[in-house]
Structure 1
Amino acid sequence: MTTSAAHLAPPEAAAPAVPNPFLESNPAAVGLPAFIAGSIALGLVLVGYVPASAVGASLPIIGAATAIGLTIAAFWAAAAGQSAVASIFGIFAGFWLSYAVLVMGLIHSWFGITADAAVATQGLFLISWLIIVVMLTLTTLRLPFAFSLLFVLIDLALVAVLIGTLQGSAGWLKIGGVLVFVFAAVGVYLYAGVASATTGGSNLPLGKPIIGG
């Protein structure tokens, strides 16, 4: 009995599936641009791009884009089981949303805060969030160095703005604004890495964690 060559030939291996990079779940693809937009808007206010009387100029971006975008990213991360990422985005969503509420409240006298208590109220806000972000910085030292750098720069910006607010110093506020631009630039670098990875490229180097293991 003869056997045809077709029966002797080994079966062809199925072609490997080509992964679709657009299906990768990365909440930072939404969270980082939202964070960067709010940071740039706040930095422009702090360096005096708009008059001091226009302190609410950044609120349309911060309240409607940054806070909402970071909230979406936090829920996305939580749904994907990325607890650390959800925590980070959730913390910053709270910061930006509470900033928007603070400024709107001071402008429209929502909370019964008198004019002579306005500075102390802003100090309360800044001190509270400085403590939270320092906590975040110290407890995430196992993340790649770029994230630690981002958080340290945010800490320094909060310190500069706190001093400028309590002392009524435009110089310190401008220093804070410059630091905001610097950490926004770090955010741009992080987003470039995310965009590269989610479109089929390689990740950008983020540096070794300060605490390994």
Structure 2
Amino acid sequence: MSVESDVQAGAHAAAEPQAPAAPVANPALLGLITFLPSGITLGLWFVGYLDTAKLPGGMIPIVSISAGLFLLVSTIWAGRVAANTVAAIFGVFSAFWMSFGVLLAGLTSGWWGITDAAGVAEVQRAYLLSFTLVFILLTLATLRLPLAFTAGFVFVDITFVLAFLGVSTGNAGLFPIAGITTFVFCLIFAYILVDGFAQDLGGKAMPMGNAIVK
């Protein structure tokens, strides 16, 4: 083959359109958008917008299905594409929301045989303390993520600490503050969700901040 024909062949190859890149799986889109309704409902409960005496039973569908079930789906999806950290994050949140739904169902229906206020508070303290410690561990373990994620997890930690202290001390004034911090982490996760949708639809990435740990 001559040099001229080589050049022509190269020019023809360069003129051929490039195949579009295959879409990248992003289970975070499903996980975040199904997490938010439950998070917002929890915040409304904390701030007293919803009746705290009647709401717990009514929260069961949204926390166990909207968040718990669909976060489990997101967890499985993330695991299948080897997004291990994403799977672990959604997995622990799915575990919280599902177990929270079961806890509410049991306490409001008397399944556990606990009817007195002191017994209910004791169960709630143990439950909140366990997840508080796990969410703090999650925050520390994911400091290599962009700052937006860390900020969201920190406000989750603050919310759980406030809820635990509110139950432990009987200080109801802490719950509205926990409601505010709940709305804050919902806003942060909503920002991350919008960024995910933007990138998936061909837009530019939104600022997420530098990771605390490089």
Relative to the length of structure 2, the TM-score reads 0.91
The Cα shift of 1:8 comes to: 9.2
Distance in 2 of aligned mates of 1:135 and 1:170: 27
* Mapping for residues 1-213 of structure 1, pairs under 5 Å: 10-11=8-9, 12-13=12-13, 14-19=16-21, 23-54=23-54, 55-115=56-116, 116-212=118-214
Gaps of 5+ in 1: 1-6
Structure-2 change in CA distance of 1:39 and 1:8 (3 Å): closer
Q: Measured at CA, do residues 147 and 9 of structure 1 come closer, stay the same or move farther in structure 2, by a change above 3 Å?
A: closer
What letter is aligned with 2:192? L
Letter in 2 for 1:164: G
Aligned 8 A contact 1:45 1:58 in 2: no
- C-alpha separation in 1, matches of 2:180 and 2:109: 28
Alpha-carbon distance, 1:61 to partner: 1.3
Structure 1, residues 124-144: CA drift from partner, whole Å, max 9, x if none? 110000010011011111111
Give a deviation string over 1:44-85, Cα, whole Å, max 9, x none.
Answer: 111111112122332221111111111011101100001111
Q: Is the CA contact 1:165–1:173 (under 8 Å) kept in the aligned structure 2?
A: no
Partners of 2:195 and 2:57 in 1: CA distance: 32
Q: CA RMSD in A?
A: 1.7
Task: Output the TM-score relative to the length of structure 1.
Answer: 0.91
> What secondary structure sits across from 1:10 in the alignment?
helix
Report the secondary structure of 1:53's partner residue: coil
Aligned residues: 205
Give the superposition deviation at 1:146: 0.9
C-alpha contact (below 8 Å) 2:60/2:102 kept by paired residues: no
Output one character per residue of 1:67-125: Cα deviation in whole Å (capped at 9) or x when no partner: 11110111011000011110000010001111111111100111222413100110111
Closer, same or farther: CA 199–168 of 1 in aligned 2, 3 Å: same
Structure 2: gaps of 5 or more residues: none
Q: Percent of counterpart pairs with the same letter?
A: 34
Question: Runs of at least 4 residues of structure 1 off by over 6 A?
Answer: none
Cα shift readout 1:6-48 (whole Å, capped 9, x = no counterpart): x89824222111236xx32001010011111110011111111
Q: How far apart are the structure 1 equivalents of 2:141 and 2:94?
A: 18
Shift of 1:166: 2.1
